[in-house]
Structure 1
Amino acid sequence: MGKILVTGATGNVGRHVVTRLANAGLEVRALARDPARVRLPIETVRGDLTAPETLEPALDGVESVFLLWPGTSAESAAGTITAIAKHARRVVYLSADVEDVADDEEPTYFHQGVERLIRHSGVGWTFLRPGGFAANTLMWADQIRQGVVRWPFGQAARSLIHEKDIAAVAVHVLTSAGHNGAAYALSGPEQLTQAEQVRIIGEVLGREVRWEELPVDEAREQLRAAWGDPAFVDLALQVWGGFVTRPEPVTGTVERLLGRPPLTFRRWAEDRAADFS
């Protein structure tokens, strides 16, 4: 098996991908803008995904790439994917829970545009499409420390996935055959409302944490101030609100690929308890 390049190697998912590949004794290389500031037990090479001209050293001798695109624009990924296709034979792209779009359709989400670029690049590909990340609940950390989470859509139910499971699937796909051209929808093992997620985090921490419903208009103002993109904020609120009446599905894909059930949200909270302390 040839060398594997991991992008986003210090992130929630990438660090677990790196660890699993390294522990398996495989040739793995990490991409970093400043390798001197990265402490990883593997070869780390300088490069910036948003600057394709910097990627040549990192891609030299690479057979497979675990790709996490850092931007929100598919157009800006074109040069990078072209550079990857000159060297690698396959790409495992950490996408999102999106639907396929035809070439003559306008993508709704940037992940769909990136997927399209990869499909047309000539490399073998596999798309990982997780739903909600359990790690996204870290945005409540400050409020959890205060004992009350004020947020909209307390009854929105999601099947949040542990980042360790995403990484385990990524490594399985990178190191085994039969996944070319597959798009895997990934989820956790259970549907939990946001209010239930907060309660479970509190139980793991050994203290009561209360949910308080935040009016959508107040949430919109807060998010627009934080994100600065009104259209993206409105889309996010629309998606979150939709989970009240149409809970995020449990897919069963993790168990099918790994031969074990996915990790529970409670297990995730136990693993990340220090982040809420």
Structure 2
Amino acid sequence: MSGRTFLVTGATGTVGRQVVARLSGVGTSVRALARDPRAVQAGDGIVAVAGDLTAPDGLRAPLTGVDAVFLVWPFATADGAHEVLEVIAEQARRVVYLSSATPRDGERRVEETIVDSGLEWTFLRPHVFASNALRWARQISEEGTVRAPYGAATTAPLHERDLAAVAVRALTDDGHAGASYRLTGPEALTQAEQVRIIGEVIDRPVVWTETPEETARQEMLAQGWPPAVVDGVLRAQAELVTTPGPLTSTVERVTGEPARTFRAWAGDHARDFLTGGPN
């Protein structure tokens, strides 16, 4: 692995930060791409580089000598993806793309563009992130109660560190080309159970209070969410009550280590729930 160089896009995001840290931890040279390199967390082997996926020509210098790229595409459409992939393919031979469990049109088009690029590729398809629970942080900190519908909606939340661990394996090891990895945490939990676990971790009583769907809908609309997105989120949660989300062993199969539990994730983020959110 010595002498190899990796570029991580989205390097200041929840997942990108973890990929950067883990790559650095295995002794590789890491270039952390960000619009503002000052926002990149420093570390051994980490070089913060300026770059913007909306300006592909500006990516040539950061990509020089790079072997593989972790690609986060933060846009709703695939517009511009072809140009970015062309520049990546000039230098790198491998790309690991953070997709989703059920790719939307834009994500699907990005995947198709990657396949057509000639690069070795791996797609990561996470289902539900444990970090979604951070949306409850303020209520938990201030009230000790989470008010929302569908407390019985059941998923297997995935720790961002496990997603990063799979990404790093796909970036650094052979044998992952052409794979689409469906990723979940190791246990199925209802939303109400997640809230209970958070309370146990922070040693405070925290309860789930069921509210009507329409109440949640109006609150989300008032926060500026598009109506179609609101309806989609609530519909998906309703479906998870009767049909729980999937449970896979992909993290352990790829990394050789068991996926982290939601309790472990809550412990890593206990401060967020005590203070009302990430600082």
TM-score (norm. length: structure 2): 0.92
Could you say what secondary structure the match of 1:62 adopts? coil
Unaligned runs of 5+ residues in structure 1 are: 100-107
| 2:204 corresponding residue in structure 1 | 207
| 1:129 corresponding residue in structure 2 | 125
2:26 is the alignment partner of 1:24: yes
Unaligned runs of 5+ residues in structure 2 are: 275-279
2:183 is the alignment partner of 1:189: no
| 1:176 corresponding residue in structure 2 | 173
Give, in whole Å, the separation in 2 of the partners of 1:39 and 1:187: 27
Give, in whole Å, the separation in 1 of the partners of 2:82 and 2:16: 22
Could you say what secondary structure the match of 1:269 adopts? helix
Could you say what secondary structure the match of 1:9 adopts? coil
Could you say what secondary structure the match of 2:124 adopts? strand
| 2:149 corresponding residue in structure 1 | 152
CA displacement 1:121-173 (0-9 Å, x = unmatched): 22110001111000110011001111110112110000001111011111111
Give, in whole Å, the separation in 2 of the partners of 1:232 and 1:80: 28
Give, in whole Å, the separation in 1 of the partners of 2:149 and 2:82: 36
Could you say what secondary structure the match of 2:223 adopts? helix
CA RMSD in angstroms, aligned pairs only: 1.5
| 1:116 corresponding residue in structure 2 | 112
Contact 2:12 2:39 in 1 (8 A): no
Of 152-161 and 219-228, more deviation after overlay is shown by 219-228
| 2:77 corresponding residue in structure 1 | 73
Give, in whole Å, the separation in 1 of the partners of 2:38 and 2:91: 25
Give, in whole Å, the separation in 1 of the partners of 2:158 and 2:93: 28
Of 220-229 and 238-247, more deviation after overlay is shown by 220-229
Q: Runs ≥4 in structure 1, deviation > 3 angstroms?
A: none
Contact 2:9 2:33 in 1 (8 A): yes
Deviation for aligned residue 1:80? 2.1
Contact 1:189 1:262 in 2 (8 A): yes
Deviation for aligned residue 1:86? 2.5
Contact 1:98 1:109 in 2 (8 A): no
Give, in whole Å, the separation in 2 of the partners of 1:200 and 1:93: 32
| 1:103 corresponding residue in structure 2 | none
Could you say what secondary structure the match of 1:86 adopts? helix
From the superposition, tell whether residues 206 and 109 of structure 1 become closer, same or farther in structure 2 (CA, over 3 Å). Answer: farther
- Kindly provide the amino acid, as one letter, of the partner of residue 25 in structure 2: N
Give, in whole Å, the separation in 2 of the partners of 1:260 and 1:135: 20
Q: Give aligned pairs, total.
A: 269
Deviation for aligned residue 1:76? 4.1
Give, in whole Å, the separation in 1 of the partners of 2:31 and 2:155: 34
TM-score (norm. length: structure 1): 0.92
Give, in whole Å, the separation in 2 of the partners of 1:149 and 1:91: 39
Give, in whole Å, the separation in 1 of the partners of 2:199 and 2:39: 34
- Kindly provide the amino acid, as one letter, of the partner of residue 126 in structure 1: T
Deviation for aligned residue 1:109? 4.1
Give, in whole Å, the separation in 2 of the partners of 1:109 and 1:197: 31
Give, in whole Å, the separation in 1 of the partners of 2:57 and 2:217: 39
CA displacement 1:70-103 (0-9 Å, x = unmatched): 122222433322322232211101111126xxxx
% same residue: 54
- Kindly provide the amino acid, as one letter, of the partner of residue 244 in structure 1: V
